[in-house]
Chains A and B, each alone.
Chain A
Amino acid sequence: MVETSQRDAVIKVRGLRNQFGPQVVHDNLDLDVWRGEVLGIVGGSGTGKSVLLRTIVGLNQPAAGSIEVLGTNVLTAPEEERRQVETRWGVAFQDGALFSALTVLQNVMAPMREHLKLSTNLMKELGGLKISLVGLPHLACDKLPSELSGGMRKRAALARALALDPQIVFLDEPTAGLDPIGAAAYDDLIGELQRALGITVFMVTHDLDSLYAICDRIAVLAEKRVLVEGPIETMTDVDHPWVQEYFTGPRARAAQVKKSGSQ
Chain B
Amino acid sequence: MGVDEPHLELRDDAGVKVVQLSGDLVTAHLGSLEHSFAKAQALTGAVRIELEGLTGIDTGGAWMVSQLRKRVAEAGGEVTLSGGAPDHIALIETVTQAAFESEMHEVVALGRWAWVEQLGKTAVAGYRAALSLISFLGQVLAGIAGALMQPHKLRWASLVTHMQDVGFSAVPIVALMGFLIGVVLGFQGASQLQQFGAEVFVVELISISVLRELGILLTAIIVAGRSGSAFTASVGSMKVQQEIDAMQTLGLDPIKVLVVPRVLALLVMLPLLGFVANLFGLFGGALMSWVSLDVSPGMFITRLHENTDVKHLIVGMVKAPFFALVIGVVACWQAFQVQGSSTSVGRRTTSSVVQGIFLVIALDALFSIFFADLGV
Contact = CB atoms under 8 A, between A and B. Distances in A.
Interface of A: 70-71, 87, 100-101, 112, 115-119, 122, 124-126, 128-130, 132-133, 138, 141, 144-147, 162, 164-165, 196-198
Nearest to A198: B87
B100 A132 contact: yes
Given A128-B100, A164-B27, A197 B340 contact: no
B1 interface: yes
B37 to A, nearest CB: 9
Contacts of B59: 126, 129-130, 133, 162, 165, 197
Q: Could you say which interface size class chain B belongs to?
A: 20 to 34
Nearest to B87: A198
A261 B240 CA distance: 43
Given A146-B339, A147-B340, A124 B91 contact: no
Contact of B67 (A115, A125, A133): A125
B90 A129 contact: no
17 contacts: A112-B27, A116-B28, A116-B30, A118-B27, A118-B30, A118-B31, A119-B34, A128-B100, A129-B95, A130-B59, A132-B98, A132-B99, A132-B100, A138-B101, A144-B340, A146-B339, A147-B340
Given A126-B60, A128-B104, A196-B90, A146 B341 contact: yes
A133 B98 contact: yes
A129 B63 contact: yes
A100 B340 contact: yes
A100 B341 contact: yes
B41 to A, nearest CB: 12
Given A70-B1, A100-B342, A117 B99 contact: no
A162 B28 CA distance: 13
A86 to B, nearest CB: 13
Interface in B339-364: 339-343
B79 to A, nearest CB: 19
A117 B31 contact: yes
B50 interface: no
Contacts of A144: 340-341
A255 to B, nearest CB: 28
B267 interface: no
B26 A165 contact: yes
Contacts of B91: 196-197
B248 interface: no
Given A126-B60, A129-B95, A129-B98, A71 B30 contact: no
Contacts of B63: 125-126, 129
Interface of B: 1, 26-28, 30-31, 34, 58-60, 63, 67, 87, 90-91, 94-95, 98-102, 104, 339-343
Contacts of A196: 90-91, 94
A239 B63 CA distance: 49
Contacts of B339: 146
B341 A101 contact: yes
Contact of A146 (B1, B34, B90, B340): B340
Contacts of A116: 27-28, 30-31
A125 B31 CA distance: 13
A141 B340 CA distance: 17
Q: Which 9 A-B pairs have the closest CB atoms?
A: A146-B340, A100-B341, A165-B58, A117-B31, A196-B94, A101-B343, A146-B341, A133-B98, A132-B98
Contacts of B28: 87, 115-116, 164
A45 to B, nearest CB: 23
A51 to B, nearest CB: 25
A112 B343 CA distance: 23
A126 B60 CA distance: 6
A198 B104 CA distance: 28
B156 to A, nearest CB: 36
Contacts of A141: 104
A115 to B, nearest CB: 8
B367 to A, nearest CB: 40
Given A146-B341, A197-B91, A165 B102 contact: no
Given A100-B342, A122-B34, A197 B98 contact: no
A146 B339 CA distance: 8
B90 to A, nearest CB: 7
Contacts of B340: 100, 144, 146-147
A138 B105 CA distance: 9
A100 B340 CA distance: 9
B88 to A, nearest CB: 11
B98 to A, nearest CB: 5
A231 to B, nearest CB: 24
A122 B35 CA distance: 11
A124 B94 CA distance: 19
Given A118-B30, A138-B102, A145 B341 contact: yes
Nearest to B30: A118
A147 B339 CA distance: 10
A167 B101 CA distance: 28
A87 B3 CA distance: 14
Contacts of A162: 59
A152 to B, nearest CB: 14
